[in-house]
Structure 1
Amino acid sequence: MDSRKNISKFSIGTQLTMLGRNPDEQSGFVNPPLYKGSTVIYKTLEDIELKRNRFHYGTCGTPTIANLEDAWTQLTGAAGTVLSPSGLGSVALALWSLTKVGDHILMPDTIYRPSRVFCDGFLAKFGVQTSYYDPLIGYDIEALVKNNTTVIFMESPGSQTMEIQDIPAIVQVAKKYGIKTILDNTWATPIFFNAHAHGIDISVEAGTKYLGGHSDILLGLASANEECWPALRATYDAIAMLPGADDCILALRGLRTMHLRLKEAEKKAIELAAWLQKCPEIEKVLHPAFEGCPGHELWKRDFTGSSGLFSVILNKKYCKKSLSNMLDNMSVFSMGLSWGGFESLIVPFNCQSYRTATDWLETGYALRIQVGLEDINDLKHDLTLGFERLNREG
């Protein structure tokens, strides 16, 4: 951070232009330099014995990595941040930091599927039991708490189906029993939801998405409050699961425009979702900012904005052949599994086979839509042509 200024007095857009850089230490250059390396040189025997350098080896990080860590810590209001090579990596770091053999954790049934696979496979192998809960459970999650429950994990909105959780209620229950909380805050980012201010112990984020913003990096971030920061940092140091410095430089670049891109994605997504609500091909729109989306009132209460990701349910009359006609020939939208980049994406999903605590009762095909930075009229036109193909017989 630029040490010449107390930047907390500025608005978020201004802060993002200042975080993670200090021209006074960079020979006056605006952007921080790229540090890549493994070996760190010491001047004296005493220095190396006491490990006096901030970075005594490359696995401890570099000034480039530290710039991003420091920027994210200030943005989130955390005690500290560690990075990883992916969003899933940061989910793993957070869970490793707060669990041990014999523990029980609670995960929402709408969780990002790779996080579910990690819990059911890797954590289970090491004696950590996972139970899944209805994301709309709120205070009633208390009934699921066991004597060995150590973590309640949240993801709001839910992956694919967009349910908003009552985070303050769940945090209140967790604190009552001394349980730690983790939130996957990738959809909202710290710009639209302040996780630590809402009592979350560790907040994780896929920087691959809106922080990077250009679909060219893989990156995860985990920020912790004062109580959980030592455990998170110790886990990180033990594993040395750090990202590449090149990706951190790209993330710092993305940080400068993240607010602008988020606001643009929010505006376009709301306009497109409202347009889709009027299309006869659409049975339902699942967007947290819209009435009818599960948890919409909680979104209005707790969030300051929405991003460019939402889902729709097609009319149940359409068959797979019709869906293929639509999706195989899109001109602007592409089919891809990420989101948060500059390009618009559309992918079908069906969560019926892997939800265990809730039932997915929709019979129409579900589509997850990521709204990028293309012109909104081009997006509407591409979908209009897609719907024509969807309705085409044969």
Structure 2
Amino acid sequence: MPIPHPAPDDLQWQTRLLRAGHAPAFEGGHAVNPPLVRASTVLFDNVAQQREMRARRGGERLFTYGARGTPTTFALEDAVSELEGGYRTRLFPTGLAAIGMSLLAYLKPGDHVLMSDSVYEPARHLAHSFLAPYGIRCTFFNADGSDAESLMEPATRLVYAEAPGSLVYEMCDLPRLAEMAHARGALLAADNTWGSGCQYRPLALGADISIMAATKYLSGHADVMMGTVCTTQAAWQPLAERSDAFGMTVSPDDAWLVMRGLRTLSARLQMHERHALRVAGWLQARPEVATVFCPALPDDPGHALWLRDCSGTNGLLSFELRREFDVPAAERLIDGLSLFGLGASWGGFESLATLADMTRARSVTDWRARGPVIRLHIGLESPDDLMDDLDRAFGSLRC
């Protein structure tokens, strides 16, 4: 027999205050965007329902506790899965957290991982500072993937690539890497932050795991930190189990912000691309510049792969100064910029510049004989204004 509950009018005002407004009734339509749902505790109707939900949540996505996600984070997971063309997605506090959890999910002591020489530098640090002490060996292969097959071992369980590569945007043949990894029972993970799911789709090219820093283009406003990992169905369970075990979650407020940014992702990227290609062409004509790094340029070594595998470029490009200019000269150039912010991130609406230490960021390719490299993120400002700003800053090289 059901236990009678007190009517609202029988409760004291302090109690009524806490119970009011949980499910406001309204008539009408629905909001364009999903509502922002903040929750730690999730309530159930009875013990049987709570027990059932907890029993099912290992294999299903259910609203059972804030650390397991809320309707707001679920909505963003679905949007990223749609964008990446994958089975399911998990959200992480940062892009680096997404990388770290992916390594933890698929590797154990005694395993070997092949990692591209072009990976995001903190991923390289993770390999040295965390994987190695725990008995997980890492070998770096050439950024273009040319020597990867020769470095495969019986213990290789994961091949980790980034294409286009960090800082100087090397392309690799991802379908070939996938075929190589799968033939030996290994998985292929790809950092897809550059491609953002719009211009590059690693899962469609054969990868099992696609990782993005939603901090960058998905957010687009330089005001939120987040990482995403989207996988195939076959690769999903290890990631889900390890993420739950570590209590990995994100703020619903941050998820809502990324969802808002995602709505304009395609339009923003097209504008970033137009502006960046204008600046890249202008830089190629500068006498101070030895090389402009951007796979969308016809003379880039990875251009043919970019044409085959990508559907566009973004606001990122880097350039190498000629050898007569040293690092202090490159620093003067950056300090002479007024429209470019000096910052290490990218993907927002603003233009940024930073010095890239390629001798530290690469271990397979030797950069010691080359000139200093400056990375630019070309934002949504007028490219004419940006080129004028760069022109003034180049004047500092002649001081």
Normalising by the residue count of structure 1, what TM-score does the alignment of the two structures yield? Answer: 0.90
Counting aligned pairs with the same residue, the percent is 38
Does residue 64 in structure 1 map to residue 64 in structure 2?
no
Partner secondary structure for residue 131 of structure 1: strand
1:319–1:174 distance in 2 versus 1, CA, 3 Å: closer
Q: Does the 8 Å contact 2:178/2:188 carry over to 1?
A: yes
- 1:50 aligns with 52
Q: Does the 8 Å contact 2:157/2:186 carry over to 1?
A: yes
Partner secondary structure for residue 342 of structure 2: coil
- 1:324 aligns with 331
CA positional deviation for 1:358: 2.0
Q: Does the 8 Å contact 2:116/2:145 carry over to 1?
A: no
Q: Does the 8 Å contact 2:336/2:392 carry over to 1?
A: no
1:153-177 superposed Cα distances (whole Å, 9 cap, x missing partner) = 0000111121101111111111111
Partner secondary structure for residue 81 of structure 1: strand
Q: Does the 8 Å contact 2:353/2:377 carry over to 1?
A: yes
- 1:33 aligns with 35
- 1:146 aligns with 153
Q: Structure 1 unaligned runs (5+)? A: 1-23
Q: Mapping of 1:305-344 within 5 angstroms?
A: 305-344=312-351
Q: C-alpha separation between the residues in 1 aligned to 2:233 and 2:354?
A: 39
1:183-204 superposed Cα distances (whole Å, 9 cap, x missing partner) = 0011111111121111110000
Partner secondary structure for residue 82 of structure 1: strand
Q: C-alpha separation between the residues in 1 aligned to 2:391 and 2:107?
A: 49
CA positional deviation for 1:302: 1.0
1:25–1:357 distance in 2 versus 1, CA, 3 Å: farther
Q: Structure 2 unaligned runs (5+)? A: 1-25
1:319–1:194 distance in 2 versus 1, CA, 3 Å: closer
- 2:366 aligns with 359
More off after superposition, 295-304 vs 201-210: 295-304
Q: Which of 80, 86, 89 is the matching residue for 1:78?
A: 86
1:25–1:240 distance in 2 versus 1, CA, 3 Å: farther
Q: C-alpha separation between the residues in 1 aligned to 2:394 and 2:53?
A: 63
CA positional deviation for 1:264: 0.5
- 1:179 aligns with 186
CA positional deviation for 1:232: 1.3
Residue identity in the other structure for 1:50: E
CA positional deviation for 1:27: 5.1
Does residue 279 in structure 1 map to residue 291 in structure 2?
no
Partner secondary structure for residue 234 of structure 2: coil
Partner secondary structure for residue 228 of structure 1: helix
Q: C-alpha separation between the residues in 2 aligned to 1:120 and 1:319?
A: 29
More off after superposition, 286-295 vs 76-85: 286-295
- 1:105 aligns with 113
Q: Which of 119, 126, 136 is the matching residue for 1:128?
A: 136
Residue identity in the other structure for 2:110: G
CA positional deviation for 1:223: 0.2
Q: Does the 8 Å contact 2:195/2:201 carry over to 1?
A: no
1:323-359 superposed Cα distances (whole Å, 9 cap, x missing partner) = 3332223110111000011110111112213532221
Partner secondary structure for residue 353 of structure 1: helix
1:23-42 superposed Cα distances (whole Å, 9 cap, x missing partner) = x9995111211111210111
Q: Mapping of 1:112-261 within 5 angstroms?
A: 112-138=120-146, 140-261=147-268
Residue identity in the other structure for 1:184: D
Partner secondary structure for residue 268 of structure 1: helix
Partner secondary structure for residue 189 of structure 2: strand
Number of matched pairs: 368
Q: C-alpha separation between the residues in 2 aligned to 1:218 and 1:94?
A: 17
Residue identity in the other structure for 1:107: M
1:118–1:321 distance in 2 versus 1, CA, 3 Å: closer
CA positional deviation for 1:234: 1.1
Q: C-alpha separation between the residues in 2 aligned to 1:338 and 1:391?
A: 29
1:324–1:101 distance in 2 versus 1, CA, 3 Å: closer
Q: Does the 8 Å contact 1:87/1:205 carry over to 2?
A: yes
Does residue 302 in structure 1 map to residue 309 in structure 2?
yes
Does residue 376 in structure 1 map to residue 380 in structure 2?
no
Residue identity in the other structure for 2:36: L
Q: C-alpha separation between the residues in 1 aligned to 2:361 and 2:386?
A: 31
Residue identity in the other structure for 1:263: Q
1:288–1:167 distance in 2 versus 1, CA, 3 Å: same
Normalising by the residue count of structure 2, what TM-score does the alignment of the two structures yield? Answer: 0.89
